[in-house]
A and B are shown apart, each in its own frame.
Chain A
Amino acid sequence: MTSTCRDSGRAPDEDAFTDLLGERRLRSDLGHALRTFNPHPHGGAPPPSTADLNRTVLESQYLRYVIKEVAAETGSSPDEVGEDARGILEEMSQNLQLGFIRLMAYTVTKVLKRLFSSVYVNMDGLNTLQQAVKDGPVILMPNHRSYMDFLIISYVLFTYDIPVPVIAAGIPLAGMKIVGEILRRSGAFFIRRAIGSERLYWAVLSEYVKTIVRTSAAPLEFFVEGLRSRTLKSLKPKLGMMHMVLEPYFKGEVFDVTLVPITVSYDRVLEESLLVHELLGVPKPKESTTGLLKARRVLQENYGSMHVNFGRPVSARQLCQGKIKRCQYNLTPRDLPRKPSAEAQACVSWLAHVMVRLQEEGSLIGPWSLMACLLLQAPATVLTEGGLPWRQLTERTLWLRKLALDFGARLNWPRRVPDSDVISSSAALHGAVVRRKDGRAYLVQEEEPARKHPVGAEEGALRTAAPLLMLASYRNQALHVFLRPALLATAMHVTKSQQTDELCAFFRFLQDVFSHEFIFVPGNSAQDFEEACFFLKKCRALCISQQEVTASETGAEVLQFLQTLLQPFMDSYQAMFRFLSDEGADVITEKQFVAAVRNAAAKLILSGELHTYEALSSDMHKNALSSLRRLEAVTKLSGSPEDEYSVNKAACGRIAGILTGKIPPQMLQTAPDARL
């Protein structure tokens, strides 16, 4: 698995990228939209029409079984349930039409030209994709950072004569007037959020997805992370869709399923400030056509360039080898509705994590992300008041660039431009966050909104928090490069130990604690540890022998940087665990938890006990709660109307103790987690 991860990331050749907009700026957009589109689909057989597809779904044996069962459960007649299923399918299904793809292509060209200076696509990735589409079902798996991701893949594929995908989208988009229908006809199909236990819906959806895969009707695109990442960090993958997509292979209904990791990297994300405010508790505006029109404001700004990296297609068959016994489906009819076996679930989860890691490795890291890493290491007061010397920032960024390259990162660093220009132009793009004045860099605080009542101290904190969280988001884009070595550096810092065993144990503990914060492939922690050692040895920061890991003389700077990189997470988690064990209630809902923890953190920040504003991010609160659940310090109460959790205060205290190095990590027993 490491091998697949490692060598797929290797191709940091910027020349392989072609600017899509270059040609668009020279030629007519209309001409592009009306170009002859002649993709070669798979197998020679013509793909089924949408109507055929829907009929196949409704007539499927699987759905018939489920309808019968649901009818028996609810006491209604099978015909009624069948009608319900038809309704669900109508709400859901896409209606891909070439005319609308052309319309979409025209609009997207206009928007892209306005927003971005260039849109880069790697041609080698596209060429292999073109080949893969001919061979069998292809699943496109982009990361999800912005609404822009949604149509960009279809746009690129249309431009390069590859069949355009059908795309899994959230149902709110369907609710938008006109736009919803345009999206539907551009290939989007819509999924309700929180399907939960609604059996019929689940059955229709999964049969729909599986039919698309089985018939190779079109490439299927879905976001394995489930939703847009508010923090620009990879999210823990959702497994439902992944399972639906893989099941036809497990059951032998297709020879193979080709998974294509796609990474869209932005110099600057359209929704940056929106996302940050969501993290700070401002609700997300509802997706609506009027909202979209209001958001025209964003069109007036420059968002730099955008990179779409089509990763090397991976074969599910190859990856799953030895992880799943396909014979298990031989003894029952394959259409029978059944819960997936533990083995299948584990395999799907593993593969989903691998895909997210492949996305991470395909990402292009811009100078701004590296700068964000460094800016955040300065105390907040320095950034807001004293300012950071620009020259120091430049030097440190160049130093970090070298370290990132050592760690195998792919950088988006223009070659033919002097380094200082690269850095200042990146900063200029993000003028909303950092301002350069008198050779120093300052943080741009939000303007004070006109309020009736005087602004409290806590709200003042929020004003600083917003740009800092934005910085943190851009840092997160680069975090995966440094993550594993940083965990090791942190382990060394906390335990003060040099014993490999001890460090490894603490490393694993950190992985457990941050299991929802960062992406770790399940069952891969030994390799992760090795990778950390390998990179730190490579950059000469560590001397590693059989039993011992020692910092070298030259390594202090690297280790210091890495350890500080994770400090905000360590501090925030620590604060949350302390809050739960000392102050919080015994039973708490997620909402209450987020609100209470935010308040507590704000107080700590104001009193100067806590130095990171990231502790205010709701994303981190939710992640912490999830990992506490996994560590069984918090358990979900069954049967309560809202999702209530009972808190094991002692356990929370113990975890906090380990995190500070007061208790050795062996004290903690993690239950083996099948969900991983």
Chain B
Amino acid sequence: MASNSSGGSSDRQRIAKQRLRIIAGHLQRPADDDSAVGAAECTAQGSKTDASSEERTVPRRRHEIMKWNGWGYSDSKFVYNKKGQAEFTGKRYRLSGMIIPGLKDWMENTFGATLQHKTPATPILNSSAVQAPTLNEVFVEELKSTHIPFSHDAEDRVFRAHGHCLHEIFALREGKIGRVPDLVVWPSCHSDVEKIVELACKHNVCLIPYGGGTSVSSALECPPEETRSIVSLDTSQMNRILWIDEKNLTAHVEAGIVGQDLERLLNESGYCTGHEPDSMEFSSLGGWVATRASGMKKNIYGNIEDLVIHIKMVTPQGVIEKSCQCPRMSTGPDVHHFIMGSEGTLGVVTEVTLKIRPVPEYQKYGSVVFPNFEQGVACLREVAKQRCAPASIRLMDNEQFKFGHALKPQVSSIFTSFLDGLKKLYITKFKGFDPNRLCVATLLFEGDREKVLQHEKQVYTIAAKFGGLAAGEDNGQRGYMLTFVIAYLRDLGMDYYVIGESFETSVPWDRVLDICRNVKARIVRECKEKGVQFPPLSTCRVTQTYDAGACVYFYFAFNYRGLSDPIHVYEEVEHAAREEILANGGSLSHHHGAPTGSRLSQRARRVQARCSISWWTAGEVAAPGLVPQPHSLRRFGRRLRAKAPLRLGWPRPPAGAEAGVRTPSRVRSGAPVCTMGQEPPAPVAQSEGAGDGLLQPPAGPSSGNTHSLMSLIVC
């Protein structure tokens, strides 16, 4: 397949070029390159487009700039240098090239992980370990005729066979490669996707949409029992802003664009979306929609469901989209809410219209130290009550505060280190804060300069009521940095026997303290019971506030030296932790998407989502689509009321199935086969009773539920 070179030009040059293109876009010159805004007509360009791909953050051959078995860019990682000090390599981040003197000690003290005990990863992908692709020849032939680029190169396929769950990365590091997609296609526009889906339906091929590849819900895992050809549909080349509507402050964007590009390109026109999930460097717009993502600054800009105005999605039954770009509708259930959180089971999101805002005039970080976590939570609750939360407000517990502290880069001047010492003295000695109990809230204010300052004052006044002391901008900024480098840190940990993961939940206010305490304690207890030799890191932060509750984010990591099956232990502990979350009134997830694969998630989903829609997240295209008409939606709503509780059924296979013809179970064309009135056939009832096979359809492991659900909408 065509190969492209990664960007060699400097940032400034690139920005300048892009600015020109934007202007060109505004002038509505027919765009012949596709890296910026432009009302471009989409044609299947084949190899023609390769030349322009150098401008993109994400090239087709991702492994050229990104790690194949770890997080992020190949050039950026934590390493121990010759002196045994931790260092962050590369040039991309604020932390890049800096020495972090405290990290080594922290690793040793927290995990008992020492430099002597190393677990290096397999350095290079061994292509011979990758299964030969199972190609559907007819499909490939017809795909060729569309001129949509594709590849069955081993590296391309392996890269798209995983997200960033611990078990996925751990297996890659050990060089273990399971079922991978057989083919990767790179559509460059909506109509390309339409063609691919149509072909997949026609030739009984399994499709898995792939955006940024940052999934932590196992949504990208290929079912090992799948016998059909699996095609990974990589949306990364659909990364243009198609238009900006300055009158309504909306932008229409292709779904493959990654967060950093979207933000950068919008900034050039003086706008932003304000949607900043921690993974925004790599995660894509389509992925945000598919997992109901949440951004750090949601207090000002809202979560993805608040930001989205319009979605275009290709399903096996056709394209689904609303007929207008309205702020709100009252014509039955909102079809967007079927799509958001569907994690790729219903179709491929191709284009999205988002709200945009002018770039804020002023931005200011801040931080507050509290004597203990309880006081901190009380303060956040008060802030939420008064509805004066800044763009972001996060409360880290004591362990995480120490963690953040360990990431402090080496200070060059004696004066700064002297000041730091003085600050510490003031807080612990003069104010009597116990260094093992205090915790820190980090703040980010945004908006007009004057309003920001006023807002800041208000928040600090509330904090003072709860014993909080302002602790400076620097601490705040470092707190936010932690969330961007945490994934890189996990790779370092994995080099030294430490594995870990994060998970999050949302919970009513009155349970925040309880859930934090209980889940952390449960993790510690479970680790002990499962034979983990060293005390684990079990820490949390309250990371978002809402009127009725908060989002709590847990980090959990441990040293697995002495364990024969660390991943199994890890999964059992995580399972227990999630069970604890559910028992304490938390949700299974706040923004990562429903975690799959574990017994728990299936059971928990059954509990939490009695009547929910798409809970299988293998990430494939399935289900018949529709163009929703108001009246069909209304009818759906009526039927829903009449037939409640909704039963999710697996459609009866078409006549061909009985005649021995293998029918596609995931990608289906043709008329819907199961309607609301019909009894769901036996297999579903069986698998529902079977305990762990929730809603597992007979032919393939996924999407039966969603399939029939969508047919419900149609009927």
| Interface, chain A (partner B; CB < 8 A) | 44-45, 252-253, 255-256, 325-327, 329-330, 333-335
Q: 16 more A-B contacts (CB under 8 A) besides A252-B518, A327-B582?
A: A44-B437, A45-B372, A45-B437, A252-B511, A252-B514, A252-B583, A252-B584, A253-B514, A255-B517, A255-B518, A255-B522, A327-B585, A327-B607, A329-B585, A334-B511, A335-B510
Q: Mark B351-373, 1 if CB is under 8 A from A, else 0.
A: 00000000000000000000010
Assembled-state Cα–Cα distance A45/B371 (Å): 11
Assembled-state Cα–Cα distance A62/B490 (Å): 44
Q: What 3 pairs between A and B have smallest CB-CB spacing?
A: A326-B583, A330-B585, A255-B521
Assembled-state Cα–Cα distance A256/B518 (Å): 8
Asked whether, in the complex, the Cβ of A256 is within 8 Å of the Cβ of B583, the reply is: no
CB of B131, distance to nearest CB on chain A (Å)? 42
Main secondary structure of the interface of A (DSSP, over half): loop
Asked whether, in the complex, the Cβ of A334 is within 8 Å of the Cβ of B583, the reply is: no
- Residue of A with least CB distance to B607: A327
CB of A238, distance to nearest CB on chain B (Å)? 27
CB of B603, distance to nearest CB on chain A (Å)? 12
Assembled-state Cα–Cα distance A330/B586 (Å): 9
Most buried by B among A45, A252, A326, A333: A252
Contact of A327 among B511, B518, B522, B583 (CB under 8 A): B583
Chain A residues, CB < 8 A from B585: 252, 327, 329-330
Assembled-state Cα–Cα distance A335/B511 (Å): 12
CB of B456, distance to nearest CB on chain A (Å)? 31
Main secondary structure of the interface of B (DSSP, over half): helix
Chain A residues, CB < 8 A from B582: 327
- Residue of A with least CB distance to B583: A326
A-B contact pairs, 16 of them (CB 8 A): A44-B434, A44-B437, A252-B511, A252-B514, A252-B518, A252-B583, A252-B584, A252-B585, A255-B517, A255-B518, A255-B521, A256-B521, A327-B582, A327-B583, A333-B510, A334-B511
Chain A residues, CB < 8 A from B515: 252
CB of A476, distance to nearest CB on chain B (Å)? 39
CB of B687, distance to nearest CB on chain A (Å)? 23
Chain B residues, CB < 8 A from A256: 521
Asked whether, in the complex, the Cβ of B511 is within 8 Å of the Cβ of A44, the reply is: no
- Residue of B with least CB distance to A335: B510
Interface residue ranges of B497-533 to A (CB < 8 Å): 510-511, 514-515, 517-518, 521-522
- Residue of A with least CB distance to B372: A45
Chain A residues, CB < 8 A from B517: 255
Q: Mark B583-618, 1 if CB is under 8 A from A, else 0.
A: 111000000000000000000000100000000000
Asked whether, in the complex, the Cβ of B514 is within 8 Å of the Cβ of A44, the reply is: no
Number of interface residues of B (CB under 8 A): 17
CB of A211, distance to nearest CB on chain B (Å)? 15
Chain A residues, CB < 8 A from B518: 252, 255
- In the complex where A252-B515, A252-B584, A327-B582 touch, is A334 in contact with B607 (Cβ < 8 A)? no
Q: Within 8 Å of chain A (Cβ to Cβ): is B436?
A: yes
Chain B residues, CB < 8 A from A327: 582-583, 585, 607
Chain A residues, CB < 8 A from B434: 44
CB of B324, distance to nearest CB on chain A (Å)? 37
Chain A residues, CB < 8 A from B583: 252, 325-327
Interface residue ranges of B516-552 to A (CB < 8 Å): 517-518, 521-522
Chain B residues, CB < 8 A from A329: 585
Chain B residues, CB < 8 A from A255: 517-518, 521-522
Assembled-state Cα–Cα distance A252/B522 (Å): 12
Assembled-state Cα–Cα distance A327/B372 (Å): 28
- Residue of A with least CB distance to B515: A252
Assembled-state Cα–Cα distance A79/B607 (Å): 43
- Residue of B with least CB distance to A326: B583
- Residue of A with least CB distance to B584: A252
Chain B residues, CB < 8 A from A335: 510
- Residue of B with least CB distance to A324: B583
Assembled-state Cα–Cα distance A45/B585 (Å): 26
CB of A596, distance to nearest CB on chain B (Å)? 52
CB of A651, distance to nearest CB on chain B (Å)? 42
Q: Mark B681-695, 1 if CB is under 8 A from A, else 0.
A: 000000000000000
Assembled-state Cα–Cα distance A6/B585 (Å): 35
CB of B124, distance to nearest CB on chain A (Å)? 46
Interface residue ranges of B138-166 to A (CB < 8 Å): none
Chain A residues, CB < 8 A from B514: 252-253
CB of B715, distance to nearest CB on chain A (Å)? 33
Chain B residues, CB < 8 A from A45: 372, 437
Q: Mark B446-480, 1 if CB is under 8 A from A, else 0.
A: 00000000000000000000000000000000000
Q: Mark B560-588, 1 if CB is under 8 A from A, else 0.
A: 00000000000000000000001111000
- Residue of A with least CB distance to B513: A253
Chain B residues, CB < 8 A from A326: 583-584
Interface residue ranges of B398-439 to A (CB < 8 Å): 434, 436-437
Most buried by A among B510, B522, B583: B583
Chain A residues, CB < 8 A from B436: 44
Assembled-state Cα–Cα distance A252/B512 (Å): 11
CB of A496, distance to nearest CB on chain B (Å)? 47
Chain A residues, CB < 8 A from B584: 252, 326, 330
Assembled-state Cα–Cα distance A409/B467 (Å): 56
- In the complex where A326-B583, A327-B607, A329-B585 touch, is A334 in contact with B437 (Cβ < 8 A)? no
CB of B652, distance to nearest CB on chain A (Å)? 35
Assembled-state Cα–Cα distance A327/B517 (Å): 17
- Residue of B with least CB distance to A329: B585
Q: Mark B609-636, 1 if CB is under 8 A from A, else 0.
A: 0000000000000000000000000000
- Residue of B with least CB distance to A255: B521
Assembled-state Cα–Cα distance A329/B508 (Å): 12
CB of A210, distance to nearest CB on chain B (Å)? 13
Chain A residues, CB < 8 A from B607: 327
Assembled-state Cα–Cα distance A69/B522 (Å): 37
Assembled-state Cα–Cα distance A253/B513 (Å): 9
Assembled-state Cα–Cα distance A252/B607 (Å): 19
- Residue of B with least CB distance to A214: B514
Assembled-state Cα–Cα distance A85/B582 (Å): 35
Assembled-state Cα–Cα distance A45/B510 (Å): 20
Assembled-state Cα–Cα distance A330/B514 (Å): 13
Assembled-state Cα–Cα distance A325/B583 (Å): 8
Assembled-state Cα–Cα distance A45/B434 (Å): 10
- Residue of A with least CB distance to B514: A252
- Residue of B with least CB distance to A256: B521
Assembled-state Cα–Cα distance A256/B521 (Å): 9
Assembled-state Cα–Cα distance A327/B588 (Å): 13
